[in-house]
Structures are given as structure tokens and as C-alpha cells.
Structure 1
């Protein structure tokens, strides 16, 4: 009696094939190779050591990749938090034309105190007590306001 393979093969769930060979797949492949080797002609020791070294290198690279991804996540700080130390400081910047946003000619430097930092499209926006809003790249100078005693 012959069993039709379509009965049991069609019921198996299939994952989409991946082009990446991870450490689990590599280890499964190595174990299958060891299990199915010819007992009269076993795998060469040098070849086995070479494959184990490759596996070890693969695992170290994957661990390093995980560490780098964690480092990148830790380094990405919100612009609001990154520039929050400027609240209360005085900043100097070139006066801008309110309609076009261009620097007015002749150039005039304005100084105002920072009251808040906000974010717009991923960039830090400095909100000033003179009701102006400027981007951080427009700042010419940052100073601590002098207190009168």
C-alpha cells in the first residue's frame, strides 16, 4: 500500500523562506550533517573545527549586532530633552523677516531669554520670552542672564 504524500504534506504549516541563515538554522544544519554522516567515513576533524569556528563567529557577530542596536536606542534622545538645559538662558540670533523667515538686511542681532523647548518635525524649536520661535541652528550665542542684585 502506497501513501499519497499530498495528505500529510498539505497539512503542514509553511513559513516564508528567509534569505538569512541564523545561528539556530546553522546549528540544525551542522547537527543534521553530524547525524547523517557515513560512519565508515566520518567528518574530518579539521572540517568540524572549521564549522564550529564559523558558528562561534556567527554567534559573536549576532551578539555584537544586538549590542550596537541597544546602543543606538540609548543614544536617540528627544530634541526637547537634548536642549532642555537652555531653558532660562539667553540666546542671540539674527532678526528674521516674519513673513519669509529670511534674515533681515542689515543684519540685526536680537537677544532673548528661552522660556521653553518644543519639537517640530524632529527638530528642536526654541520658544523665547519675546514670543519668537527659532530653530537651534539659528542660535549665534548662548549666555546665562545676569541677575541684578
Structure 2
């Protein structure tokens, strides 16, 4: 198998828009770039053997299919999350937020502020799921502490039975 001088195409992998994790792993585009570079720079007296080329193409095909499967699974998971959270619409929820306070000396402290609201809708954007309240405030789903039905009798919300 021909050797590849990585100095020739190292710069093609330096993309400032990628996260550190994305830069440290090879994706299907990177694999294809390596394969093309390998084909362009192979020794004409020792061309890539058919079985090696077929094996590399099979690896590329597998990588592409796994990438597509991962995207599909993420879409299904997001749909199920939204479907499950839609049951919270119309419910009263409580949560605690951290409020930033700065005193006269410039010292920053954080204070717990209890909040409550009736859920109007559920929003999922950029991987973050939030509940949007009737008053327009938003709460991250992970902050929700309690959920009650505001239309139920008072003793039903407290959990006691008569």
C-alpha cells in the first residue's frame, strides 16, 4: 500500500468552524479527502490493488450509512421528546432560577428565585428544550420542580384525598 505524506493535506483539516471534538475525529468528508489524495498521489508503478480499493470504499459506505442512521435516530428522539412534553401544556409548573446580583463593592452573588407559570407551549431549538409560559417567560425543562393541574380542585393538587 502506498504511503501518504500527510504534510500535503494537513491544512485541509484545519477548519476553525469545527468544535474541538469535531476536529479530533475523522468524518466521512475527511475520509473521502484522504482516499482522493491517496489515489492522486499513488505510485504509478504500484497502483492501489482492487481489493484494497474495494475495502476502502466499503468502509466509506459504512461510515456514510452510520452517519445517516445517527441523524435519523436524533430526529426520532427529538420528536418523542416533544410529544411527551406536549402533555405539560396547560399545567402549572414551578422552578427555581439563579438571579445574578452585584453589590456596591462589585461582588457578584447568585440568589435562588422561585418562579411559576402555566405552560403555553414547548419549544426545541438548537438541542435545548424549553417550556414557554402564558406570560412569555421561559423555563428549561431540566429546572422544572413541580407540575400541577390548575383546573383540578385544590385538594387534588396537594395530593390529599377526601
What TM-score range do you get, normalising by the shorter chain?
0.5 to 0.7
Please name the residue that 2:55 is paired with.
50
Stretches of structure 2 that go unaligned for 5 or more consecutive residues are 1-13, 95-143
Q: Choose which of 66, 72, 75 in structure 2 pairs with 1:61.
A: 66
Partner of 1:119, secondary structure, is strand
1:117 aligns with 2:91: yes
What TM-score comes out, normalization by structure 1 length?
A: 0.52
Partner of 1:76, secondary structure, is helix
Alpha-carbon spacing, 1:22–1:83, altered in 2? closer, same or farther (3 Å): same
d(CA) in 2 for partners of 1:51, 1:139: 66
d(CA) in 1 for partners of 2:26, 2:149: 48
Residue 80 (structure 1) shift: 6.1
Output aligned runs, 1:77-116, within 5 Å: 77=82, 81-82=86-87
What TM-score comes out, normalization by structure 2 length?
A: 0.48
Select the structure that is richer in strand: 2
1:127 aligns with 2:132: no
d(CA) in 2 for partners of 1:72, 1:123: 24
Stretches of structure 1 that go unaligned for 5 or more consecutive residues are 1-13, 85-115, 141-149
d(CA) in 2 for partners of 1:68, 1:130: 41
Residue 131 (structure 1) shift: 2.9
Aligned residue pair count: 94
Superposition misfits of 4+ residues, deviation over 4 angstroms? none
Please name the residue that 2:38 is paired with.
33
Partner of 2:62, secondary structure, is helix
d(CA) in 2 for partners of 1:55, 1:34: 14
Select the structure that is richer in helix: 2
Please name the residue that 1:107 is paired with.
none
Residue 78 (structure 1) shift: 6.7
